[in-house]
Amino acid sequence: MSESLSQQAIGFLNSLGITQLSRSDHYNVTHYGEMHNTENLEEISRLIHENPTDFKKLVSILRNIRDCGEYTEFFALLESNDLPLDIFIPLCMKFITKEDILAQISSVLYGILLGYRPIQHNYNEILIQKVIHNIIKASNSVELKKDITDVDISYVSIADGFFSEFSSAISADFINIATREVYTAFIELSFKIGSTMTKQISQYVPNLEENVMKFIQSALQISPDYVAPHVVSFLVADNLPKNQRVQKFREKIIESTMYSLQGSDSTLTLICQHLTVRCPDRAAMREMISQTIKSFFNAIHDKQKYTSYLMKCIKSTKMSLRNVSLEVLSVLIPYFDLNFINEITEILKKMTTEVHPNIKSLAIGALSSIVEYTGNTDFFDVLKHSLLDEKVVVRKSSLNFLSILIKKINEENSEILELLSQRTRDKSPLIRHEAIKMLSDYFTKFISEKTFFVFLDSVLPRVLDDDKKIVTFSTQMIETHFLSDINLSMKYSSVFDENIVENLRSSLQIIKTNSQKQIKNFAKLISKKLNGDVDGGFWALADVISEFETKQFNKDLLKDLWPKRLSISHHFLSICSKHANKTWIKDAMNDVTNISKGNLTCNYGHIKYLVEISGSDKENTKIFRNLFKKCLEKNIKDNDCIVYLVGCLSSYFTLENRDEINPLIDICFDKQIDNKIRSIGILSLGKCLLTKKEVAQDVIILLSNDLTSDSHSTIKMNEITALSDLLIKYGTFASVFIDNALKLLIDGEDIVKRHVLVMITRLVTEDYIKVKSNLFFKLLKSLLDENPMISNFASSCIFDLIVPKSSKILLFLSDAVSFYNSPDVGIFGVNIQERKKIYDFCVDRMTDIQCWSTIQTLCSKYIDHHMTVDTSHMRDSLTIIGICYQAIISRSSTSKSDNLNETESQELSSSQESRNDGRESIQKLLVIIQQQIIKVLLPKMIDLHYHLRSTNSPLQGDLKKLMSLIVRSDSSFLQYIEMIDKTLSNELKIYLQRTPENEDPSLPPSPSVRRVFSSSLLTRLAARGSPARQTTNSTPSRSQTPDDFSILLKRMPNLDEDE
């Protein structure tokens, strides 16, 4: 009859001499850890070292005993042989402190023995602490990527061996005897190892992660309330490595938790609540936690409790909690019924108008989820505002929302086209790129004349973009949707108006660099399609292409069509001008002569190119002066063709004096004459004045003064164009007409306002005029125009084109209140809320240095002044100071410390020498600001506080709001105030309590550092070289050790109280 497993184990005990350890030595070792003066233990150790194979066989037999459940028989056999039931404990203590193979085997052995029942026979407090101590060292070693030593490998192997068997030991009996402190220490270590283990270490212990996961799964099955807090802590940790290994570990934790908590709605709900309130307020973490909550929420049967809790979180005063809650709401939309979705939709719509950009962005994201789930596309009113938001994060979310709407609609939508077209001109390259991509996709889905026009009108200008990526992408889109298909251009040739043609001409200068062959092929296709029947739009396209590929156009075709030149589009004549021959020049000169006599009428384009073709012969240019004089000697006030011809002819010679053009001047300013004749006359007059500066000086005042008259909008725009051309040509006359032109931004028609903005922007960006404070504030006033098209265009002109030219002009903001009573500006003639929008626009584009300079200027220039004079408009000074200061302390991006004045350069000289790190530069700037606030700013504000109080001014609240903003950023400011005026300090404290601070959602992520243990036991053991025996073994009370989930219940934030 074969021996039983227990008998085999006893046989190995004898052969290895383990049974020879005396009772007294055994007691001293197991109870006090005293292993010196134990000769028998040393002898046993020597025998095992000499014969480790038998020791391994013994461990294997003991594992089989545990797996078969025969430990009762084994314990009985030990007793019958008068051997202690914990006979292996001294051996494990002896070996487990080593750093060799026997230590690894001993850790496996002890993990096996802890699975024997009753557990009291093998549980030893000293040994368990030695095991924990080894695993602590292993948990530090698993994070290593290089410089891995044999000692590190040894400790990790010991941990691997223990966890490989420990999962079988987990039971209620183990928790009771080990205490929750020990049990949760193992749980925390397992999570730490699983979440920080590197690829390099796993090469030595490939099964460690699997063994740790096996232990956690066992713990979740036996005692989920103990593991759940660690699950939450692990899931919300934002300092873990970002790799696939950790992600897989995370997925297994979530899967195991859901499996273990099936049917336990209360615990799953509580986990979701904790994940919501403890999630770090970073975009990546919010997204990850939201998906995790979605998984848990899906497993909950009664979803109402968490849904109600989530709604409270959304309405919380804590900004970070609202951010997370909105992200969670977005992913949970499919789990809600339609009534609740309709209710939450209205709440989300209101949130899209809030102040904080992150809230708006996340609310828009939630609405996107609603559209995806319900198919409801009635959200264009929301998008019209959110796509124009000053923050990129809001506009980006809005574009994503719009992309979802595009997928849901089945027919063309003009509102979507307009919104996409606007965003292709966005100040952010990211938004422009995304808008171009979406517009291209929309064009592919809904091919029509209108979408073709909007596509070309929006994408062609982007080929000239400042951003190289935008240029490349726009070029690709033009090649794909335009140059590769001539049929679209034939079918929708009417889209090629003057604006599209001009944009195409400019963009092809860039495109031809990399797409010469494609443009050549496109030109060949166009040439084949040309005939007398094609419309003007297609001729306009051919005209532009001919400038780049002249040789591709068939001269015989042009020759055949020449007799029809006045009945075909004038772009035909433009193409002919590149191939003019003597016959064509002679015919063109005859046509010009007939027009001057009034015998021939045609459109202005024909006149322009007929003059150009005939003017290619120098002999004809001599005739032009005589024709010019004869035209003006006639009564031409009823013939617009002759009036236009005069302007074309004037460019071929120089005027002698003003008398030559008096008839033309009379036409331009005689309001009895038809507006069409006058507007053409002004264009011709402008061309005439370009030929001689002395003549222009006499007439330019007339043009400038007429801007403020009640002339037709077309006349005013032509006058502005003429005056701008004169300024560019001669470099003077700016002061004569700029003020009058700016008045049109207030009282003019929309089309005139846009024209003025274009003109001013061009003159500023090309350095023909300088921006002064008066001009700057008049431009800013256009941001408040009632027509959003004008206000948005003004914003683009000012902040995307003028300000980048010289950011110093933003410092004019400190002069805002100087124009409080200005008839033209008058602080923009609107209430403080509207003015604040302008201030926000400006400050958002200012550097930190500029913000601080503005604060200093306002303090010294106006607060001191208002102490003795009228305080009626000091509110703007306080508002601007608050906005500037908030911008400085809230920015997490690096400081742009350019454009410093002399004083600032001296103050920051030391920081500028070491600007390799932008954050370091910001910190140094903040130190300087802190010193200046205490030295200058706060004393002025305290004095102002006394003054406002003595006069019972309504501005006391504004000042208190500003001071609370400052003291909230640094408690030392409040201490300074308290030293000077304790009453004021107490008032500010009360004010701060009543107005809770919104958490900053843009805080930088926590640094990736080694995790600190939360368990007190692990902290103690990690701090000691080796564990010492505790004097007591009592089980800590639940209130002393917050290690299970009941404590999380007590720690759950009460949102009702919070509100």
What percentage of the chain exceeds 90 in pLDDT?
A: 22
Q: pLDDT of 346-393, one tens digit each?
A: 999 999 888 788 899 999 999 999 999 988 888 888 888 888 887 889
Q: Residue 905: pLDDT above 80?
A: no
| Position 954 in a domain | yes
Last residue within a domain, chosen from 526, 556, 579:
579
Question: What CA–CA distance (Å, rounded) separates 914 from 575?
Answer: 60
Question: What CA–CA distance (Å, rounded) separates 568 from 581?
Answer: 19
Q: Residue 996: pLDDT above 70?
A: no
Q: What is the pLDDT of residue 635?
A: 78
Q: What is the pLDDT of residue 432?
A: 93
Q: How many structural domains does the chain have?
A: 2
| Position 967 in a domain | yes
Question: What CA–CA distance (Å, rounded) separates 680 from 715?
Answer: 8
Instruction: Read off the pLDDT of each residue in 431-437 and give the average, rounded to a whole number.
Output: 94
With cut-offs at 50, 70 and 90, classify the pLDDT of residue 1002: very low
Domain housing 506: 485-579
Instruction: Read off the pLDDT of each residue in 481-495 and give the average, rounded to a whole number.
Output: 87
Both structure tokens of 246: 């950790």
Both structure tokens of 228: 């759940």
| Position 27 in a domain | no
Question: What CA–CA distance (Å, rounded) separates 185 from 197?
Answer: 18
Q: What is the pLDDT of residue 1050?
A: 45
Preceding amide of 118 cis, omega within 30: yes
What percentage of the chain exceeds 70 in pLDDT?
A: 85
Name which of 16, 12, 3, 13 is nearest 82 in CA terms: 13
Q: pLDDT of 402-422, one tens digit each?
A: 999 998 888 888 888 988 998
Q: What is the pLDDT of residue 909?
A: 39
| Position 942 in a domain | yes
Q: What is the pLDDT of residue 1033?
A: 37
The H-or-E segment that residue 30 falls in is: helix 23-32
| Position 726 in a domain | no
Question: What CA–CA distance (Å, rounded) separates 459 from 436?
Answer: 7
Q: What is the pLDDT of residue 289?
A: 94
Last residue within a domain, chosen from 986, 1001, 1016:
1001
Instruction: Read off the pLDDT of each residue in 917-938 and give the average, rounded to a whole number.
Output: 65
The CB density around residue 869, as the number of other CB atoms within 10 Å, is 10
Q: Residue 866: pLDDT above 70?
A: no
Report which residue type is found at 239.
N
| Position 214 in a domain | no
Question: What CA–CA distance (Å, rounded) separates 608 from 664?
Answer: 18
With cut-offs at 50, 70 and 90, classify the pLDDT of residue 1029: very low
Question: What CA–CA distance (Å, rounded) separates 120 from 126?
Answer: 14
Question: What CA–CA distance (Å, rounded) separates 1007 from 514?
Answer: 45
Counting DSSP H helices and E strands in the chain, the numbers are: 58, 0
Q: Residue 687: pLDDT above 80?
A: yes
Question: Given CA atoms 272, 276, 280, 285 in this order, what sign does their dihedral have?
Answer: positive
| Mean pLDDT for all residues in the chain | 81
With cut-offs at 50, 70 and 90, classify the pLDDT of residue 899: very low
Higher local confidence (pLDDT), 287 or 498: 287
Name which of 982, 884, 984, 981 is nearest 929 in CA terms: 884
Instruction: Read off the pLDDT of each residue in 50-57 and give the average, rounded to a whole number.
Output: 85
Whole-structure pTM value: 0.67
Maximum average pLDDT range among 803-812, 908-917, 989-998? 803-812
Q: pLDDT of 102-136, one tens digit each?
A: 888 888 988 998 989 888 888 888 889 889 988 99
Q: What is the pLDDT of residue 903?
A: 35
Last residue within a domain, chosen from 961, 980, 1001:
1001
| Position 820 in a domain | no
Question: What CA–CA distance (Å, rounded) separates 160 from 205?
Answer: 7
Maximum average pLDDT range among 526-535, 601-610, 786-795? 601-610
Q: Residue 291: pLDDT above 90?
A: yes
The H-or-E segment that residue 1043 falls in is: none
Maximum average pLDDT range among 202-211, 550-559, 978-987? 202-211
| Position 508 in a domain | yes
Q: Residue 900: pLDDT above 60?
A: no
Q: pLDDT of 148-177, one tens digit each?
A: 888 898 899 989 999 999 888 888 888 889
Q: pLDDT of 77-104, one tens digit each?
A: 888 888 888 888 888 888 887 777 888 8
With cut-offs at 50, 70 and 90, classify the pLDDT of residue 455: very high
Q: What is the pLDDT of residue 435?
A: 95
Q: What is the pLDDT of residue 733?
A: 66
